Chains A and B, each alone.
Chain A
Amino acid sequence: MARAITAEDVVHAPQGHGGSGKNYLNAEKGILSWLTTVDHKRIGVMYLVSTITMFIIAGVLALVLRLELLHPGKDFMGAPAYNQVFTLHGAMMVFLFIIPGIPGGLFNFILPIMIGAKDVAFPKLNLLSLYLYWAGAAFTISAILTTGLDTGWTFYVPYSSTVSPTAVIAVTFGVFILGFSSILTGLNFIVTLHKLRAPGITWYRLPLVLWATYATSLIQILATPVLAITLLLLIFERAFHIGIFDPKLGGDPVLYQHFFWFYSHPAVYIMILPGMGIISDVIAVHCHRRIFGYKAIAFSSVAIAMVGFLVWGHHMFTSGQSRLAATVFSFITFIVAVPSGIKVFNWTSTMWGGSISYKTPMLYAMAFLFLFTIGGLTGLFLGMLNVDLHMHDTYFVVAHFHYVMVGGTVVAFIGGMHHWWPKITGKLYNERWGAIAAILVFVGFNMTFFTQFFLGSRGMPRRYWSYLDQFQPLHAFSTYGSWVLGAGLFMAFFNLMLSLKYGEKSGPNPWGGLTLEWKTASPPPTENFYRTPVVTHGPYEFPSTGKAKH
């Protein structure tokens, strides 16, 4: 029997093995070495750069929208321009940032390291995913440069198939390609989690972020193909008028909505589950406490993924589906709240009695708990049949999904970026500016979107460029809030960017985490570990707490 492998072996290169100073960032030089890499860390970084660029563009579009809404009537955009801007904001945020951002970017980077693997199961396929993302993004963005797109991110027929004068085919073909990128990433991660876990990493020793990854990947595989065929049919409908969706030709526009939401409702869990995963890890590490209810959080991720497939009809309460269908969809929608609630209670319980360090990632995690809870609970209003008939297509819906998607996923993403930033770049950012930015984001977000609950419940419809005078004060407050939110996000961004040049060097484990990514160097060497690590404990068995308290 060979001598036991220690942490020393895993982190330090053996004699004659390169030596110190080499990591994945400086192992090879030149643009070409990045474009042809199969290293999951480099691919993850390229995903992060790409998706964050899209986030900034789509975010600026949002600021433009809010600015137009400062006063009723036309400030600088009329209806056609406004329709195009909100469509591109939505489509870019959903398809080019939120869906690929966390899995393709952050998880690509940390997943193999967390399970002690050298790479994902199919490294070349991983690179193909990135290339498909770029190709899909090129088609989608080409719409901006040609005729724009004004259908909303949902591409509803028959407007998209026969009426809209804009570049529907270019964008939907782009999203079609993006779907394959998403499918291949999900497939890669599932196989990696099954086949490449290092010795000792049982399923119940996986960090919870990887359970969330697994659940997300399942949805990516099972839902995205349906979007692909839907968009293909839409492209043929628009190009050749084949009469599948066009009611004038005998087709069924409600069928389009069923197909679209069969993907796009599970897709909102593709968006939120990664955020929930990040929060689980950030809270446990920054509270230095064993996570409360490990299995409950793990299985609630899988439960959300499964039940999420059965609720798509709640987007269509006013679309003319049968009363029976609407009632059943409404009931199942309430069931989704159960696993989500389980998570929130477990996260809160984890903080109870922990030694909380209020570092930037933890501030974002606490903001997440607050915002996601509001977003989740207002979702129940909308899942209720009679209430939804009043709230449908109002700002209440806009506020609800921004609380979940931005207050939930984006806040978790930024928190995760701060949490793993020292690992990815080897640099520490400025804590004080990080904290100020987090607080600005939290305050600005609530100013912007809590206001919209009031607007919506008073009857302000979504997707309108102008409105009645009585809504002006609330709209103005929301717009001021968007400036605070924008300032906070830019501050967070520049704080991270400046750390690349001025930040202190980070050690391997700046937060005192116990999972494998904190055992290797920051930034990690190309092969992650010099020897395959052997894991003998769970991911959150912090020494100071845990057993003594129970």
Chain B
Amino acid sequence: MSSAATADDREDGDLAEKSPQFHTAHHFDKADTQFDAGRLGIWLFLVTEVLFFGGLFCAFFIFRSWYFDSFVEAHHHLDKVMGATNTVVLISSSLTMALAVRAAQTTNKKLCTMMLLITLACAGAFLVIKFMEYSHKIHDGLLPGIAFSAEGFKTGHAHVFFSIYFMMTGVHGVHVVIGMGLIVWILLRNMRGDFSSRFYAPVEGVGLYWHLVDLIWIYLFPLLYLVG
């Protein structure tokens, strides 16, 4: 009991030296409990995200089976090259994010900053490409609902495909924007010298979130762009 207590004290001393900005919150017995709690919290949050998108995926599969011909016809209006480019961009950003977490874990502040900057640039590139795709669709009158004005479809339910497309990619895009905000936050904290091999929980947490955003796109791309 007493020897364990001294081990904890030594660990916490180590922590104070490496990450002086960090203070264990008053209701945790030691810093590691706090890190574990945060990690569990992030994973539970990611579960809620999966279920949130789950509803959209479910709607996608139902309408894809109902209106398969419309989905095939409508998906030809999506730009496969831009979609594929965005997939590569986002997967690359997941790699640099993972490297940023690793850099934080090894107290490599400079590398961590660089990796976070590249991740941020990739996220920005993704949004620019997405914006180009969107403005092209809007120009063609493919915005769903009351704004849908495109004509010449041979099948009757192309607008349902674009409803699903804009809902899924739109909600995903909002997640990318939120992710960029979170990356800026950990970037600033990293430059301030908050993180070290003893304290890197926020980098890890944002990293997990970013991987999920990436993962969802990896499903969105083939489902929406490569229907049939």
Contacts and interface: CB of A to CB of B under 8 A. Distances in A.
Interface stretch (A100-108, A114-122, A344-352, A361-369): A114-122
Nearest to A224: B48
A482 to B, nearest CB: 38
B119 to A, nearest CB: 25
Interface in A474-520: none
Contacts of B48: 183, 187, 221-222, 224-225
A370 B119 CA distance: 60
A250 B66 CA distance: 10
B59 interface: yes
Interface centre among B47, B160, B171 (most CB of A within 10 A): B160
B193 interface: no
Given A225-B48, A243-B145, A251 B41 contact: no
Contacts of B36: 195
Interface string B46-63: 011101111110110011
A122 B56 contact: no
A225 B49 contact: yes
A230 interface: yes
A255 B36 CA distance: 39
Interface string A204-235: 00000000000000000111111011101100
Contacts of A259: 55, 58
Given A117-B27, A242-B163, A221 B59 contact: no
A1 interface: yes
A240 to B, nearest CB: 3
B59 A233 contact: yes
A225 B164 contact: no
A194 interface: yes
A242 B41 contact: no
A450 B160 CA distance: 47
Contacts of B28: 195-196
B41 A187 contact: yes
Contact of B55 (A119, A230, A249, A527): A230
Contacts of A229: 52-56, 171
A124 to B, nearest CB: 10
B190 to A, nearest CB: 22
Interface of B: 1-2, 25-29, 33, 36-37, 40-41, 44-45, 47-49, 51-56, 58-59, 62-63, 66-67, 144-147, 156-157, 159-160, 163-164, 166-167, 171
20 contacts: A2-B2, A119-B26, A121-B41, A187-B45, A187-B48, A190-B40, A191-B40, A195-B40, A196-B33, A221-B44, A226-B54, A229-B53, A229-B171, A233-B56, A236-B167, A243-B145, A243-B159, A244-B163, A249-B159, A252-B63
Interface of A: 1-2, 112, 117-123, 183, 187-188, 190-192, 194-196, 221-226, 228-230, 232-233, 236, 239-244, 249-252, 255, 259, 527, 532
Closest 10 CB pairs of A and B: A240-B145, A229-B55, A118-B27, A225-B52, A242-B163, A225-B51, A119-B27, A242-B145, A195-B37, A225-B48
